[in-house]
Structure 1
Amino acid sequence: MNLTTTYLGLKLANPLLPGASPLVDNMDSVRRLQDAGAPAIVMHSLYAEQLEGNAVAFDRHLGRWQDSFAEATTMFPETGDYRLGPDEYLERLGCIKRVTGLPVIASLNGNQPGSWTDYAKLMEQAGADAIELNTYFLATQMSVSGPDLEQRLMDIVRAVRSNVRIPIAVKLSSFYTSVAHLAGGLEKEKVDGLVLFNRFFQPEIDTETLEVRPHLDLSTAEDLRLRLRWLGLLRDQVKLNLSCSGGVQRSDDVVKAILAGADTVQTVAALLRHGPGEFARLLAGLRQWMEEHEYDSVTKMRGALSLKRCADPEAYERGNYLRSMQLWRE
């Protein structure tokens, strides 16, 4: 049975990846992931706010909210709150490479073009085999249009691409007006892959303290459906590598993502809930499914149920909506 796949120019022993998470901050956890079968390590992000300085982030943030919330200045983390500083991040990247010998995918996260994109070069020099570019921004003001957001993303991608030769994957949001059109534009910008999708964490309102506070919920299996739809829609439209991120809880979820069109499948919540050993169980489940369904390679599985290959293409489009609305019965 051949589980190998190619992602961002890397030949990987299997398509399952530990996604960006705090597990990389502990080398024991990294070793356990390797022992469980991880073919590469995806590091969590370095943020533009860290690299450009909290003063820049403070000015942007305060300027946006100063007429609305007096508490706005308390929302950004202090410099010491980040798990790894820029220098520590590069040291950890090099350490993971030396200790495991595995490919390492570094990650950058920002929402505006700026000097932070220059750091991609330092990641490459430190040994990163690829970069996952995470652009987390929402259009919260009426003056910002959909095309404005797409142009901002393109500007960031061009800045990073000009700094490095290693492959780049862009971690997209699902909230763009036309994800498929944007994917095609990114392909023209020499991006190597897409990660579907970034999760937008929503604020929580505390009715006792009357505060709006950040809140983190790990993904659930329900989050996977959106990823499956767009993997299936994009698989035959772009030549980019596609990685599924979000909602992968069980080995069956790994199977679904590959059938829809994923080259790799990232899991985080399952590892945080159950530990690095869960990786081996997910991988074993994938092997078992392939044996039972007589697939001798991941390549033959990939995209077998994409839009163009599935027996009912309407399942990805409006017909699915129409039928779904008729399924509910009292």
Structure 2
Amino acid sequence: MAPTQVREQVDRTADVDLTTTYMGLTLPSPVVASAGPLSQSVASMQALEEAGVGAVVMYSLFEEQVRHEQEQGVRVLEANTNSFAEALSYFPTESGGSNGEIAQYLDLLTKGADALSIPLIASLNGAHTGGWTKMAQRLQDAGATGIELNTYFLPGDFSLTGSEVEQRHLEILQSVKDVVDIPVALKLSPYFSNFGEFAIRLDAAGADALVLFNRFLQPDIDINRQEVVSGFELSHPEEGRLPRTWIAALRDNVSTSLAATSGVDGYVDVVKAILSGADVVMTTSALVRRGAGYATDLLSGLRRYLARGELSLDQARGLLAVPKTASLAEYERSGYVSALEKAKRRYGV
């Protein structure tokens, strides 16, 4: 390619506007740093912003941590019920005081919100209804631009029906929406009997975004020690197929924002998610593997793709989503049959 042609291509790439909207928030780019270890300090969050991410989702504050604080507060108050009434300035302090995990989270959230010019989204992780959801108000007061509810719930009670599991998610969403004015996203697993119908109900219930999907952390077995081994592995690109499939199906059937997460490793994965209909593309694994600066590479690749195809971001988004006029069941079924036919031709004897 001649130098002049290279310069023209670079110039077209530089002109690509990646500004996007996610759950009512304006983001400078569609790549978002999802909840993970890179949000544990203001400096690392600033590095993500400098690399071009459109927003940062902080690491999760867990329901169990909130419940522990609440229970601890009750114990402290009960232990001091016989204190002298004359000590009007006295108020019992909790074990751990300002060094507690929740206090640290809120302090980091406040400092991060002050330091960043991009949205900082707090993450609240839980699986049960209850007073812990009121923590969302404290997250809002600390400066969160939005809240991501990570509803990681594996029904261990086999008597629970599918509708009861879904209702719990709806109640958690509603309890948080009742106490905050900022947008609320719901991060979900794909394991529902009819995920599409459930997604439409969550949209109607006021979810400002659906984050697809939460990774189901499956334990393994050590056959030598004969014990269950828990652990965590970074995601791989093939894991992105499931969220893209559902985003493509939902794109024209819900009004809420859609975020793709899991399996985002390179710029190609970002492009695929956008073409399927994602408003934003979230990643942690790629940034943990290669550093916060890798977000710049993801965005550069996206810009090159859009410039090469002479597409705007809005024109590319949903370009390969399931057509609204198509029968989703027949559409997916035809893809399934086609895939098996290809497999027979390729691997058949």
Alignment partner of 1:278 out of 294, 297, 305: 294
**Residues 280 and 234 of structure 1, relative CA distance in 2, 3 Å threshold:** same
- For residues 232-274 of structure 1, give each alpha carbon's deviation from its aligned partner in whole angstroms, at most 9, with x where no partner exists: 0000000000000110111011111011110000011100111
How far apart are residue 39 of structure 1 and its match? Answer: 2.0
How far off is 1:94 after superposition? 1.0
Q: Corresponding residue for 2:235?
A: 219
Q: Report the equivalent of 1:250.
A: 266
- Check conservation: 1:139, 1:145, Cα contact below 8 A: no
Q: Is 1:32–2:32 an aligned residue pair?
A: no
Aligned to 2:83: none
Correspondence for 1:136 among 145, 152, 160? 152
Taking structure 1 as reference, are residues 40 and 55 closer, same or farther at Cα in structure 2, changes over 3 Å only?
closer
Shift of 1:316: 5.1
Structure 2 counterpart SS, 1:177: coil
The answer on whether the counterparts of 1:232 and 1:316 sit within 8 Å (CA) in structure 2 is no
Q: Any conservation in 2 of the 1:193–1:242 contact (CA below 8 Å)?
A: yes
Does residue 298 of structure 1 match 2:295? no
Matched to 2:332, the amino acid is E
Provide the secondary structure at the position in 1 that maps to 2:121: strand
Q: Secondary structure at the match of 2:178?
A: helix
Q: Secondary structure at the match of 2:342?
A: coil
Please tell me whether the aligned partners of residues 304 and 310 of structure 1 are also in contact (alpha carbons under 8 angstroms): no
1:239 has 2:255 as partner: yes
Q: How far is 1:187 from its partner?
A: 1.6
Does residue 127 of structure 2 align to residue 89 of structure 1? no
Equivalent residue for 1:308?
A: 323
TM superposition shift of 1:209:
2.2
Q: SS of the residue aligned with 2:228?
A: strand
- For 1:1-330, what aligned pairs fall within 5 Å after superposition? 1-53=16-68, 85-295=101-311, 297-308=312-323, 317-328=332-343, 329-330=347-348
Q: Sequence identity of aligned pairs in percent?
A: 41
Larger Rg: 2
Say if 2:186 and 2:207, in contact at 8 Å, map to a contact too.
yes
Contact 1:21 1:268 in 2 (8 A): yes
Distance in 2 separating the partners of 1:318 and 1:6: 32
Decide whether aligned partners of structure 1 residues 309 and 180 sit closer, same or farther in structure 2, where only a CA change above 3 A counts: closer
Q: What TM-score do the two structures reach when normalised by structure 1? A: 0.87
How far apart in 1 are the matches of 2:125 and 2:290?
27
Cα gap change, 1:55/1:9 in structure 2, threshold over 3 Å: closer, same or farther? closer
CA distance in 1, matches of 2:328, 2:265: 26
Give the aligned residue type for 2:168. R
Change (3 A) 1:310 1:133: same
The ranges of structure 1 where at least 4 consecutive aligned residues each deviate by more than 6 angstroms after the TM superposition are 309-315
Structure 1 contact 229–316 (Cα < 8 Å) conserved: no
Displacement of 1:312? 11
CA distance in 2, matches of 1:21, 1:142: 31
Q: Using the alignment, how far apart are the partners of 1:310 and 1:190 within structure 2?
A: 25
Distance 1:311 1:241 in 2: 21
TM-score (norm 2): 0.83
- For the Cα contact (< 8 Å) 1:21–1:43, is it kept in 2? yes
Q: CA deviation at 1:142?
A: 2.4
Does the residue aligned with 1:255 lie in a helix, a strand or coil? helix
5+ residue gaps, structure 2, are 1-15, 72-94
Structure-2 separation of matches of 1:210 and 1:55: 38
RMSD of Structure 2 on Structure 1 (CA) = 2.2
State the shift of 1:34 in Å: 1.2
Distance across 2 between alignment mates of 1:22 and 1:310:
42
Shift of residue 27, structure 1, vs aligned partner:
2.8
What residue in structure 2 maps to residue 66 of structure 1?
A: none
Aligned-residue offset at 1:189: 1.4
